Structure 1
Amino acid sequence: MVEEVIARYLARRDPVEQPVDVVVLMGSAVLESVEVAAEAHRTHGVPVLISGGIGHSTQYLDDAVRRRGLDLATGRPEAHVFRDLLLGLGVGADQIVVEDQSTNCGENAHFTRRLIDTPKTLLLIQDPTMQRRTHACFERAFADLPGTTLLSHAPLIPWIGPDHVSAGPGRPEIWSRERFRSLLLGEIHRLSPDVYGPNGRDFIDHVAIPAEVLAAYNRLVTEDPSVIRR
């Protein structure tokens, strides 16, 4: 399945073979990210920095909260919603740092950089469709802090069902198939050197996209050329 080729590439997961200093959790519509961040907090015994204001994913986060019947106020910065969820999972308030002004993954990286002034090992957790681009944004933002180590851990590898996408068979829906396809293709489009890369808006450094991923992207775009503009 061509969507799976792209999804697995975007959901970057690095080996975590060293101590971690901070878990950096990005706001998104993927509630499973909070569970993974809480587990990383327990495993490594380190604080969680949540980065996320009100952006393009906020309405989808609010939809996910309502769809799952969670008793949480909506219409708030994504970091505030995720903070409440972390507290509910037993993470202490003194172990949570909130950055609630960022509206996109570039600002997630730059605003997080403002809060960290010494080299650390950061474990980045983001919506799996955005994990690779987020990593590239953090590489750019932390380039001026030598000794920083960035590790990405997408909270899940998307399971693609007939009409929706989730964390696995029988798990709650995260995206419809149509929206998921749009997200995948939008991400590959943004990773291009001529779009968000050095030859375009210069938000990220060059990202070498594997040939098989580009082939899958081109196949889907041929099937529906409008999808990257949705």
Structure 2
Amino acid sequence: MSIPKFPSVPPLSGAQIRALTELVFRPDLTERTVPCYDLLFVFGGSHPEIWITAAHAYQQGIVKQVLITGGYKENATRHHTWTYGRTPEAQVIRDKLVELGVPKEKMVWEDQSANSLENVWFGLQRVDVSRLSTILFVSKAYAVGRQHRTLTRHLPERITLAAYPALTTIGKIPVTSWGWSRVLAHRAVVYGEYLRMVAYGKRGHLTPLEKEITGL
């Protein structure tokens, strides 16, 4: 059974809000521990902030290579600025990164995936994982927790991971770790991320939660 992007949200206590923030946004992952990462893993998406954030990471000189993921999924909800029809997300992101100054020879990509699990499955086939020890990944800020667990489920434990979040908007307001609980649509999308982590962990798609949030 699929989980809606904006599920109904039960009343949330202060403790539940804090627990959701820690699990969904994973602020601990944004503290980078190495000066330069072997790979920048870019999760697919239609929001311009995805490629703007990826370009910024490359321009900081903190990544050696860029892996872009994302195909075309029928009936997917896309950002209102998307004008690229059925073009796979990875191809659009690649072209945008070139426009933003990232050398094409520094990039590899896959354009067949339809979800985050496939982003990881197909994406990791495009690089030699045995040569990687550090990965920085770009995803929507409110998806960092889920994407991190998806990566850890399919990567060797020896690989160090860190996040480079893209602050994407819903209702023209960025979904942030400090403000999501004050906006109804943001509460729904964050709660949906939590439900996905629970459900996909049980299916083996990602590293399961160590403990579910009491009362949710």
- Give, in whole Å, the separation in 1 of the partners of 2:172 and 2:90: 26
Cα displacement string for residues 153-192 of structure 1 (whole angstroms, at most 9, x for unaligned residues): 2123x678xx542279xxxxxxxx6654432222111112
Which of 187, 193, 196 is equivalent to 2:200?
196
The amino acid of 2:117's aligned partner reads: G
Which of 183, 193, 203 is equivalent to 1:187?
193
Cα displacement string for residues 111-157 of structure 1 (whole angstroms, at most 9, x for unaligned residues): 222223224211111122222111111111113xx53222222123x
Q: Does 1:21 pair with 2:38?
A: yes
Equivalent position of 2:154 in the other structure:
141
Equivalences for residues 16-165 of structure 1 within 5 A = 16-18=32-34, 19-43=36-60, 44-55=62-73, 58-61=76-79, 63-66=80-83, 73-117=84-128, 118-120=130-132, 121-143=134-156, 147-156=158-167, 164-165=172-173
TM-score normalised according to structure 1 size: 0.70
TM-score normalised according to structure 2 size: 0.74
- Give, in whole Å, the separation in 2 of the partners of 1:56 and 1:179: 23
- Give, in whole Å, the separation in 1 of the partners of 2:82 and 2:22: 25
Higher relative contact order (CA 8 A, sep 6+): 2
**What is the aligned-residue identity percentage?**
25
Give unmatched runs, 5+ long, in structure 1: 67-72, 169-176, 219-230
Give unmatched runs, 5+ long, in structure 2: 1-11, 177-182
**Contact 2:42/2:68 (CA < 8 Å) preserved in 1?**
yes
Aligned length: 190
Shift of 1:57: 8.2
The amino acid of 2:194's aligned partner reads: I
* Distance change >3 Å, CA 11–CA 33, structure 1 → 2: farther
Equivalent position of 2:174 in the other structure:
166
Cα displacement string for residues 23-61 of structure 1 (whole angstroms, at most 9, x for unaligned residues): 111111332121221121122252211011123785414
**Contact 1:28/1:58 (CA < 8 Å) preserved in 2?**
no
Divergent runs of 4+, >6 A: 1-4
2:200 aligns to what SS in structure 1?
Answer: coil
**Contact 2:40/2:136 (CA < 8 Å) preserved in 1?**
yes
